[in-house]
Amino acid sequence: MVDVKSILKENAVIAEETLEYYFSPERIGVGKLQDAMKYATLGGGKRVRACLALEFAKLFAKSDMTARPYAAALEMIHAFSLIHDDLPCMDDDDMRRGKPSCHVAFGEATALLAGDTLLTYAFETASSAEGVTDVAVRHAIYALSRNTGPFGIGGGQQMDLSNSASTYEELKKLHSMKTSALIKAACLCGYYSTLTGEPDDAIVSDISEYAECVGLAFQIKDDLLDLKGDAALLGKRVGVDEKNGRVNSLSFMSPEEAEAECERLSDRASAIVSKYEGSDFLSAFPGYLNNRNK
């Protein structure tokens, strides 16, 4: 039985060390903006996206070295999205990862700039990755861009702000853009980092479906935790969606049905990737996420 928790922690350490390197004063300078960027990115989080990038690189190349810059870039993009999510004009959350949100700690203007700068710095990091081929960089940059823009985080956040999903299918579309998209970018970047030629379409299709299932299950689990999770464990307030009258997966299904849907999606993700030799961690990972309490 693969020890998912230990491997996740090992990858989180690698991600943190890589981020520390990219956030060194020599690379980004010093000041309030830089402090806010580091505050929002370092020292917390499950590093799920970084972990997936590293593990998909190991699946196809037996090493995670080529994926490390992309793992860092993904965590920068994720941090940018969380900074903006927490702003008063968005979800208006004052806690993140057990500490005051970036805009509470640094003010709204600096938080906004920190998010913007993290996003642009992520692409600098990804585009200047060493030890990878030009074709790897090209495909990785496209994956990051496509899944961050109007068909990814940006478009998904706008849909979320409108709070207009009237069916579960509409909500799934929102989740596929706001949550699954960056997970898809992570998985694809791990694979793309190993390329010496053009990617295999069948592999890309499998990775994309795996990520879609993981992302949807991840979001439904978040909705369940928002309903009945422990705020101390989560490091943020619970009951936010209900308080704000926001639509989530529990608007269309009972908690029991939501848990069953999480299990179905997790099983599907595991089945997709299990045919690849050396995929023990990636096969077990969806089930682990489904059973988390934070």
Q: Taking the chain (294 residues) in consecutive chunks of 10 residues, what is each chunk's mean pLDDT?
A: 93 96 97 97 90 97 95 97 93 88 96 97 95 96 96 91 86 92 97 97 98 94 80 55 74 92 96 96 94 76
The one-letter amino acid code at 2 reads V
- The reported pTM is 0.92
* Other CB atoms within 10 A of residue 122 CB: 24
- Residues, the chain: 294
CA-to-CA distance for 132 and 145, rounded, in angstroms?
A: 18
Residue 244: predicted pLDDT: 62
Q: Please give the biggest Cα pair distance in the chain.
A: 51
CB 85 within 8 Å of CB 111: no
Residue 88: predicted pLDDT: 92
Q: Residue 250: CB partners within 8 Å, gap ≥ 6?
A: 223, 224, 227, 241, 258
Residue 69: predicted pLDDT: 97
Domain ranges of the chain: 4-290
CB 66 within 8 Å of CB 132: yes
Residue 149: predicted pLDDT: 94
Q: Exposure of 138 by Cβ count < 10 A (0-12 exposed, 13-18 middle, 19+ buried)?
A: middle
Closest CA to 189 of 277, 284, 61: 61
The top-level CATH class assigned to 4-290 is: mainly alpha
Residue 294: predicted pLDDT: 63
CA separation, residue 64 to residues 34, 78, 102, 140, 180 (Å): 27, 20, 30, 15, 22
* Tokens representing residue 172 in the block: 């799934």
Closest CA to 47 of 81, 22, 74, 66: 74
| Cross-strand pairs, 100 | 95
